[in-house]
Amino acid sequence: MSEGNFIEMTPHKVVKNSTADVDESTDMYDTVQWLLDHVPGHNGRLGIWGISYPGFYTSASIIDSHPAIKAASPQAPIADMYMGDDSYHGGAFMLPHNYSFLTFFKSQDNPTEGPKVFVPHDYNNSNGYDYFLKLGNLSNIAKSLGKPGNPMFDIMVEHPRYDDYWKSRNIAPHLKGIKAAVLTVGGWFDAEDLQGALST
């Protein structure tokens, strides 16, 4: 419910229509302070956790974190979207995985509450291979995500190599000076191929 229009959501930076850049770490710092100031009956300490993409947000939130954050648990966290996580797996574009995720994960005007119940995308086809074959090339697949499209899908397609775009969004080199107690959770058969948990 924060103000602003999120114009780009990326694994390392959330850029708003404002005069200052806001990333996940500064956003969490402000959120914690707001909670301390507005929620009665707390003891001044809090813990955070998240799984997959929210696991990434948990990792990002403990960089230069608010001193009230005492414990964090990034679980199956995304770390490097290209080398082993959701977007690419060592260079292989994960079309079905990205497509199914991005049919509901879209930029939106804020403030908004969003849907209370997740409604999965209706493929109207029980055969995934056939579904994508009928759509054709990546341009047609991008158009099938609706208007105005999905900038995150477009970015993935525009950066098929491990270029500076992906390298700059790898969170692992930034996980330093963490003051909270951290329990990182991962499994050998996670969709993220355990890379995120191991590098975190």
Long-range contacts: 153-158, Cβ < 8 Å, 24+?
153/98, 153/99, 153/102, 155/10, 156/87, 156/88, 156/93, 156/98, 157/93
Least confident of 12-26, 86-100, 180-194: 12-26
The DSSP bridge partners found for residue 71 are: 47, 181
Place of tokens 């074959």: 133
Give residue 135's pLDDT.
Answer: 94
Compute the mean pLDDT over every residue in the chain, rounded to the nearest whole number: 83
For helices 128-135 and 95-102, angle between their N-to-C axes, nearest 10 degrees = 80
Question: What is the tens place of the pLDDT at every residue in 118-168?
Answer: 778 888 888 989 999 999 999 999 999 877 788 889 988 999 999 999 898
Give residue 10's pLDDT.
Answer: 46
184, 51 Cβ separation under 8 angstroms: no
- By DSSP bridging, strand 92-93 and strand 46-51 are unpaired
Largest interatomic CA distance in the chain? 57
Q: Which domains, from first to last, does the chain contain?
A: 6-199 (1.10.3020.10)
Place 88 in a pLDDT band, splitting at 50, 70 and 90.
confident
The DSSP bridge partners found for residue 8 are: 15
Q: Distance between CA atoms of 26 and 61, rounded to whole angstroms?
A: 8
Least confident of 39-53, 77-91, 103-117: 103-117
Q: Once rounded to an integer, what is the mean pLDDT over residues 175-180?
A: 91
Q: Strands, DSSP E only, in the chain?
A: 6-9, 14-16, 46-51, 69-75, 88-89, 92-93, 181-182
Give residue 21's pLDDT.
Answer: 63
Give residue 1's pLDDT.
Answer: 54
Give residue 108's pLDDT.
Answer: 65
